[in-house]
Amino acid sequence: MALFRTARRIAAAALLLGTSVVAAQAASTLETVKARGKLICGVSMGTTGFALADAQGKFAGFDVDVCRAVASAVFGDPSKVDFVMTNINTRFQVLQSGEIDILSRQTTMTYSREASLGIDFGPTVFYDGQGLMVAKSLGINSAKELDGAAICTLPGTTTAQNLADFFRTTGKKFELVVFENPDENNNAFFSGRCDAVSSDRSDLASIRAGSKSPGDYVILPETISKEPLAPAVRQNDSNWRDIVSWSVWMMMAAEEKGITQANVDEQAKSTDPEIQRMLGGTDDLGPMLGLDKKWGYNVIKQVGNYAEVFDRNLGEKTALGLSRGPNTLWNNGGLLYPPPFR
């Protein structure tokens, strides 16, 4: 509820007012997480494919699996995570104030966020971009044809700014209706109050998957912004940031090396020296970050490689039906390029 969210934001501001400076200078995040016995991960308020709780309250999704991978790396157990649903407006404050350890919430890495919000981003886990979706019946093939249209959107981040920039550069006018609540936003689009809805392309696929007849809607080809989605952690804890980053890269490297959930035990016997280092066979890479020697093995065994995580949550066979697009390994013409494990 909007009221609740605004209250939440004010509470977050109040937290900044009240938290004593001394208490905030606590132990490192890794120590805190280990002492607590579980990871606390901030995810979205329910987005098909990225983070959604089932009837039993068990979370699943792409963003959820990123946190599970970190839990596997730290504890060797992907279930040692508590998921907290974070509001799009308060997500950074919740991270800053220490309520969560990782923000894994379809969040775009930008310069000003990195520079002014007191947070650090990990590697891009999903290359996204803001797009526009319309009803097929409009007979439109390009966002450039949307002159004079009404567009619905959520207040998130720079969504409104990107739209204004896009229409200013093309010299077109549009009417923007901003909703605080995703349900109201979707209702306004599906009822025809708005001609188009704008969000990250992955999110549009999610909205479409949730409609009564997904076939009636089409996502226009234009990508009007770059949205590299990445997990975020608090600034000035490089050890924790490294753990999050390398957990993500471990999944990408596993895909590159052909290591899967199914064959990881077999691969552990491989003679490839990098695979040996990744899975904790030879070198002790784990302890350098304060992790177990077998952390990489655990991540792949328990969560899977990048391709498995993508296909399970977002891929062609899911309701979202997203193709890999730019989220393909570099040697297949994509943008995923995990640094070497050595």
Partner 1 sequence: MSPIVLLRNRRVRELAYQVICVAAVVAVGWYLLSNALANLAKQDIATGFGYLGREAGFVISETPIAYEPSDSYARALLVGLLNTVKVALLAIIFSTVIGTLVGIARLSSNPLLSRLMLFYVEALRNVPLLLYLFLWYSVIIFTLPPVRQAITLLPGVYVSNSGLVVPAIIWNSGFWVAVVAVAMGVAAAVAWFKFVRHRRITTGKALPGWPVAIALLVLPVVAAALLFDISGDVDWPVLGKFRLTGGAHLKPEFVALLVGLTLSASASVAEIVRSGILAIRKGQREAAKSLGLSDGQAMRLVILPQALRVIVPPLTNIYVTTFKNSSLAIAIGYPDLVMVSNTIMNQTGQAIEPIALFMLTYLILSLLTSVVMNWYNGHVALKERQS
Q: What is the largest CA-CA distance in the chain?
A: 63
Nearer to partner 1, 110 or 260 (CB): 110
State the Rg of the chain over Cα. 21
Distances (CA, A) of 234 to 8, 96, 112, 113, 259: 20, 6, 15, 12, 31
| Binding status of residue 116 toward partner 1 by CB under 8 A | yes
Per-position x/- string for 158-197, each x denoting binding to partner 1 as judged by CB under 8 A, each - no binding? x-xx-xxx-xx-----xxxxxxxx--x--xx--xxx-x--
The CA–CA distances, whole Å, from 329 to 67, 155, 305, 332 equal: 21, 32, 12, 5
Q: Which residues in 136-155 contact partner 1 (CB under 8 A)?
A: 138, 145-150, 152, 155
Task: Note whether 86 and 9 are within 8 A (CB).
Answer: no
Choices 89-97, 245-253, 287-295, 315-323; region in contact with partner 1 by CB under 8 A? 89-97
x-marked contacts with partner 1 along 217-256 as a string, rule CB under 8 A: -----------------xx---------------------
Contacts of 233 (CB under 8 A, 6+ apart): 29, 95, 101, 102, 103, 119, 120, 122, 240, 241, 244
CB of 110: closest distance to partner 1 in angstroms?
9
In this structure, what token pair is assigned to residue 205?
């696929």
In the list 35, 57, 112, 331, the residue contacting partner 1 (rule: CB under 8 A) is: 112
Closer residue to partner 1, CB minimum distance, 165 or 316? 165
Nearest distance from residue 176's CB to partner 1, in Å?
A: 5
Is 92 near partner 1 (CB under 8 A)? Answer: yes
How far apart are the C-alpha atoms of 220 and 226, rounded to whole Å? 15
Q: Is 271 in the site for partner 1 (CB under 8 A)?
A: no
Q: Does 213 bind partner 1 (CB under 8 A)?
A: no
Sequence-separated (6 or more) residues with CB below 8 Å from residue 1: 181
Residues 25-84 that bind partner 1 (CB under 8 A): none
Distance CA 44, CA 61 (A): 10
Question: Total binding residues for partner 1 by CB under 8 A?
Answer: 62
16 near partner 1 (CB under 8 A):
yes
- Examine residue 21 and tell whether it contacts partner 1 (CB under 8 A): yes
Answer for the pair 78, 302: CB distance below 8 angstroms, yes or no. yes
Question: Within 10 A of 215 (CB to CB), how many other CB atoms are there?
Answer: 8
Least separation in angstroms between CB 215 and partner 1: 19
Q: Determine the interface stretch with partner 1 among 45-53, 66-74, 111-119, 218-226 (rule: CB under 8 A).
A: 111-119
Stretch that binds partner 1, among 90-98, 209-217, 316-324, 332-340 (CB under 8 A): 90-98
Secondary element (H or E) of residue 127: strand 126-128
Report the C-alpha gap between 191 and 152 in whole angstroms. 11
E strands along 29-80, which residues? 39-43, 52-53, 59-60
Phi, psi of 322 (to 5 degrees): -85, 140
Q: Work out whether 156 is an interface residue with partner 1 (CB under 8 A).
A: yes
For partner 1, the closer of residues 68 and 113 by Cβ is: 113
Contact residues toward partner 1 (CB under 8 A) are 1-3, 6, 9-10, 12-13, 16-21, 24, 88-89, 92-93, 96, 112-113, 115-118, 138, 145-150, 152, 155-158, 160-161, 163-165, 167-168, 174-181, 184, 187-188, 191-193, 195, 234-235
